[in-house]
Chains A and B, each alone.
Chain A
């Protein structure tokens, strides 16, 4: 459990990010006002339209920075409330992200250049379990959202129609609806934000994609952000350590070893993490 100092550091860092986001939002609003002024002065329709279009984009960016500031504010206030009693688990930044999307279960997946999953952060156990399934089965909403670079939603029977492996498995976790949006900025996609069982209508509204964009702008693709989401991003360290071991045991490339661990976990119906731990303890040898 974190000490007072660590929580203080987290709060200070989140407050700083909120302040930066507000400054950026104001700057964007300033640009928008300038173009709105020029639109008002424009002698022709074409000129007016050009300035209004530019103003609109600045307005929307200003709103995203404000959403980002609110996510940080929310994290600060959760930490502050918690630090008074400390009788519950320490609040995670992702819980606030989930709440902003109208659910308690949300997960961020970060992918590499080859769309390979590099890291993940989840707000709660169901979200973590659903992301694990996606990793094990190699199909699911976050994967589709990043490869197609567009929002993905499915609920009820459509889950199994869309993902024959993932659909039934995620339904078994008690999840009835999933949605994911790409985490992308200026045409660069670095992952996806997925939500599980959101309240009706949230994923059809703009809120979901606005939160994703705010998250990308302020935390993931920002020179003063924190892609580790305040220490919550899990790189599956143990799974990769185990893959290194298996690659020696079987004299195979480490990528093949990863696949073997994944297949073994799926066949046994357990998480790859627990397979990895058994390998690391010397209780299990694949091959």
Chain B
């Protein structure tokens, strides 16, 4: 393979795009995966790249790239658990350059290798997509064959994949942090509302705040409701609780 290495500027642009762009839909990183596949195909010489993203075994894998047949193959490969992408995703380590008509490919990926050769590809490799401590997918490189895929290409491919993984990890942390902050706010707010409801009931029925709490709690229990909800209604005067 004798392609010009991409310019520094073009590379920098790709990294900014992959590492810094916002994941628009939290649960659906399709845009980022497509960007990774597109940058890979453009920057990695003669290779075509396909992204496999399978964060969870319970839901079907996502694939991104161009070409209907190639995407179909990538989807089938994930279902079969075959091919370099599935392997890198499973093991967390790169699958080195492999000849698709060689013994190893025919033995380990019988259906995948045959189909890829039919589509005109000769060599394949895959780089794991790490998100934090997990491997959630892989970048698959498919080359025309003849000569092996050069190591520099795999190094660059891994860096592009790392940048996308970094972005996904940051997004995951962002959402986790937000959820924890919401939980904290709700927990503190409910405790405050309960105190306010104790005071409200105490004043309304001329009882102590301890008695007010007992009434609040027994009402919530006997009506199988959350004490915070009951407290909120008491504070807003939508509910009055009778003393015995």
Q: Which residues of B contact A240 (CB under 8 A)?
A: 192, 195-196, 199
Q: How far is the CA of A188 from the CA of B180 in the complex (A)?
A: 10
Contact check, A47 vs B155: say whether CB atoms are below 8 A apart: yes
A242's partner among B12, B133, B188, B199 (CB-CB below 8 A) is B199
A186's partner among B5, B174, B204 (CB-CB below 8 A) is B174
Q: Which residues of A contact B73 (CB under 8 A)?
A: none
Contact check, A227 vs B184: say whether CB atoms are below 8 A apart: yes
A147 interfacial contact with B, CB 8 Å: no
A235's partner among B174, B195, B202 (CB-CB below 8 A) is B195
| Stretch with Cβ within 8 A of A (4 or more), from B45-53, B97-105, B106-114, B162-170 | B162-170
Q: Which residues of B contact A44 (CB under 8 A)?
A: 5, 8, 11
Residues of B190-227 at the interface with A, using a CB-CB cut-off of 8 Å, are: 191-192, 195-204, 209
Contact check, B155 vs A244: say whether CB atoms are below 8 A apart: no
Contact check, B188 vs A118: say whether CB atoms are below 8 A apart: yes
A156 interfacial contact with B, CB 8 Å: no
B178's partner among A27, A42, A188, A248 (CB-CB below 8 A) is A188
Q: How far is the CA of A244 from the CA of B166 in the complex (A)?
A: 49
Chain A residues touching B, range: 35 or more
Residues of A32-68 at the interface with B, using a CB-CB cut-off of 8 Å, are: 35, 38, 41-47, 50-51, 54
Q: Which residues of A contact B200 (CB under 8 A)?
A: 244-245, 247-248, 254
Q: How far is the CB of A99 from chain B (nearest CB, A)?
A: 25
Contact check, B163 vs A186: say whether CB atoms are below 8 A apart: no
B21 interfacial contact with A, CB 8 Å: no
Q: How far is the CB of A211 from chain B (nearest CB, A)?
A: 18
Q: Which residues of B contact A47 (CB under 8 A)?
A: 11, 155-156, 159
A38's partner among B159, B178, B191, B197 (CB-CB below 8 A) is B159
Contact check, A187 vs B174: say whether CB atoms are below 8 A apart: yes
Given A38-B162, A46-B8, A47-B156, A222:B180 Cβ within 8 A: yes
Q: How far is the CA of A220 from the CA of B203 in the complex (A)?
A: 35
Q: How far is the CA of A186 from the CA of B182 in the complex (A)?
A: 14
Q: How far is the CB of A276 from chain B (nearest CB, A)?
A: 9
A119's partner among B188, B202, B209 (CB-CB below 8 A) is B188
B185's partner among A54, A113, A248 (CB-CB below 8 A) is A113
Q: Which residues of B contact A41 (CB under 8 A)?
A: 155
Q: Which residues of B contact A113 (CB under 8 A)?
A: 182, 185
- Bits for A217-231, please: 1 = Cβ < 8 Å to B, else 0: 000111100010000
In the complex, the chain B residue whose C-beta lies closest to that of A243 is: B196
Q: How far is the CB of B91 from chain A (nearest CB, A)?
A: 16
A207 interfacial contact with B, CB 8 Å: no
A118's partner among B15, B156, B185 (CB-CB below 8 A) is B185
B76 interfacial contact with A, CB 8 Å: no
Q: Which residues of B contact A110 (CB under 8 A)?
A: 184, 188
A86 interfacial contact with B, CB 8 Å: no
B119 interfacial contact with A, CB 8 Å: no
In the complex, the chain A residue whose C-beta lies closest to that of B133 is: A27
Contact check, A245 vs B202: say whether CB atoms are below 8 A apart: yes
Q: How far is the CB of A57 from chain B (nearest CB, A)?
A: 9
Which of A27, A244, A249 has the most C-beta atoms of chain B within 10 angstroms of its own C-beta?
A244
Q: How far is the CA of A118 from the CA of B182 in the complex (A)?
A: 13
In the complex, the chain A residue whose C-beta lies closest to that of B201 is: A244
In the complex, the chain B residue whose C-beta lies closest to that of A54 is: B166
B44 interfacial contact with A, CB 8 Å: no
Q: How far is the CB of B40 from chain A (nearest CB, A)?
A: 14
Q: List 6 A-B contacts (CB under 8 A).
A: A118-B185, A235-B195, A241-B195, A245-B199, A248-B199, A254-B196
Q: A50-B15, A222-B180, A244-B197 are in contact. List 11 more A-B contacts (CB 8 A).
A: A27-B133, A38-B155, A46-B12, A54-B162, A118-B185, A185-B177, A188-B181, A221-B181, A241-B195, A241-B198, A244-B195
List the interface of chain A (C-beta within 8 A of B).
27, 35, 38, 41-47, 50-51, 54, 110, 112-113, 118-119, 185-188, 190, 220-223, 227, 235-238, 240-249, 254, 280
Closest CB pairs A-B (n = 9): A244-B199, A240-B195, A248-B203, A241-B199, A244-B200, A245-B203, A118-B188, A244-B196, A186-B177
